[in-house]
Amino acid sequence: MSRAHGRMVWRTTALAVLGAACVALAGCDGSDDDDDDMQPPPPEVDFDPLTIYVSHNGDTNAGEVVRLDQNLNLAQSFTAGNNEGIDLDVSGNLFQTGDATAPPSTIRVINQIRARGDGSFDSQLDREIPAPDSTNFKGFDIAHEAGFLIIANFMGTSLEVYATAAGEDAVRVATTALSDNPWDVAYDEAEDRLFVALTNGTVLVIDDFIGGGFVLGTARTITPGDGSSVSNLHGIAYDAAADRLVVSDVGDAMSATDGKIYVIAAASTASGTVTPSRTLAGSSTMLGNPVDIILNGSELRIAEKSNNLILAYEDIFTGDSGDVAPDLTEEATAPESLASASADPQVLPDVSDIDDPDSIVLSVAATSNPAVSNDDADIGRFNTDLNDGQAAFDSTVSLENIAFSQSGDAFVTFDNGDDTVGSIYVIHRLAIARDGDTVTPSRDRIISGDETRLIAPKGIEIADALGVAMVADTNASTPAIRAFSVTTTGNVAPVFETALTVPPWDLDYDPDTDRLFVALTDGTVAVFDDYSDDPDAAAPDRIIIPATGPAGLPVLPPTNLHGIIHVADSDALIVSDVGSGTVGTDGKIYVLPAASTADGATLVSVSIDDNNVLLPGNTQLGNPVDIAFDGANLFVAEKSQNMILRFDNVLTSAGGDIAPSATLDFAAAESVALAPDYLARSP
Q: Alpha-carbon distance 162 to 442, whole Å?
A: 7
DSSP labels for 53-102? EEEE-STTTTTEEEEE-TT--EEEEEE-S--S-EEE-TTSPEEEEE-TTP
Determine contact, residues 368/626, Cβ cutoff 8 Å. Answer: no
Q: Whose CA is closest to 425, among 406, 408, 407, 401? A: 401
What Cα–Cα distance (Å) separates residue 408 from each residue in 403, 428, 532, 563? Answer: 9, 7, 25, 21
Torsion sign across C-alpha atoms 96, 100, 120, 167: positive
Determine contact, residues 446/462, Cβ cutoff 8 Å. Answer: no
Q: What is the pLDDT of residue 347?
A: 79
Q: What is the pLDDT of residue 371?
A: 61
Q: C-alpha angle 521/464/114, rounded to 5°?
A: 140
Band (4; pLDDT cuts 50, 70, 90): very low
Band (375; pLDDT cuts 50, 70, 90): low
Residue 593, pLDDT above cutoff 90: yes
Give per-residue pLDDT as tens, 54-97.
Answer: 999 999 999 999 999 999 999 999 999 999 999 999 999 999 99
Q: What is the dihedral of CA 481, 486, 488, 491, to 10 degrees?
A: 30
Q: What is the pLDDT of residue 373?
A: 58
What is the reported pTM? Answer: 0.93
Give per-residue pLDDT as tens, 225-255.
Answer: 877 778 999 999 999 999 999 999 999 999 9
Residue 6, pLDDT above cutoff 70: no
Ranges 3-7, 464-468, 678-682: which has the least confidence: 3-7
Residue 34, pLDDT above cutoff 80: no
Domain locations along the chain: 3-39+52-341, 351-676
Residue 520, pLDDT above cutoff 90: yes
Mean pLDDT of 214-225: 94
Residue 31, pLDDT above cutoff 70: no
Stronger pLDDT, 35 or 122, i.e. the higher one: 122
Give per-residue pLDDT as tens, 595-605.
Answer: 999 999 999 99
Residue 14, pLDDT above cutoff 80: no
Q: What is the pLDDT of residue 15?
A: 38
Coil, strand or helix at 22: coil
Q: If 0-12 CB within 10 Å is exposed, 13-18 middle and 19+ buried, where does residue 588 land?
A: buried
Alpha helix locations (H) across 450-590?
none
What Cα–Cα distance (Å) separates residue 604 from each residue in 447, 552, 574? Answer: 38, 9, 10
Give per-residue pLDDT as tens, 536-547.
Answer: 999 999 999 999
User: If you compute the radius of gyration of the chain from its CA atoms, what whole number of angstroms results?
Assistant: 27
Q: What is the pLDDT of residue 475?
A: 95
Band (198; pLDDT cuts 50, 70, 90): very high
Mean pLDDT of 512-533: 97
What Cα–Cα distance (Å) separates residue 613 from each residue in 411, 520, 589, 606? Answer: 34, 21, 14, 18
**How many other C-beta atoms can be found within 10 angstroms of the C-beta atom of residue 227?**
8
Mean pLDDT of 447-471: 96
Residue 18, pLDDT above cutoff 70: no
What Cα–Cα distance (Å) separates residue 27 from each residue in 31, 61, 256, 610, 645? Answer: 7, 10, 24, 65, 55
Q: What is the pLDDT of residue 417?
A: 80
Band (583; pLDDT cuts 50, 70, 90): very high
Query: How many secondary structure helices (H) and strands (E) does the chain include?
Result: 1, 52
Contacts of 405 (CB under 8 A, 6+ apart): 91, 411, 462, 464, 486, 679
Q: Which CATH superfamily is domain 3-39+52-341 in?
A: YVTN repeat-like/Quinoprotein amine dehydrogenase (2.130.10.10)
Mean pLDDT of 165-187: 97
Band (33; pLDDT cuts 50, 70, 90): very low
Mean pLDDT of 504-509: 98
Residue 25, pLDDT above cutoff 60: no
CATH class of the 351-676 domain in this structure: mainly beta
Determine contact, residues 57/84, Cβ cutoff 8 Å. Answer: yes
Q: Alpha-carbon distance 340 to 113, whole Å?
A: 12
Q: If 0-12 CB within 10 Å is exposed, 13-18 middle and 19+ buried, where does residue 449 land?
A: middle
Band (372; pLDDT cuts 50, 70, 90): low
Band (101; pLDDT cuts 50, 70, 90): confident
Band (20; pLDDT cuts 50, 70, 90): very low
Q: What does pLDDT average to over the chain?
A: 92
Residue 11, pLDDT above cutoff 80: no
Q: What is the pLDDT of residue 420?
A: 83
Are both 3-39+52-341 and 351-676 of the same fold? yes
Q: What is the pLDDT of residue 639?
A: 97
Element of type H or E holding 15: helix 3-17
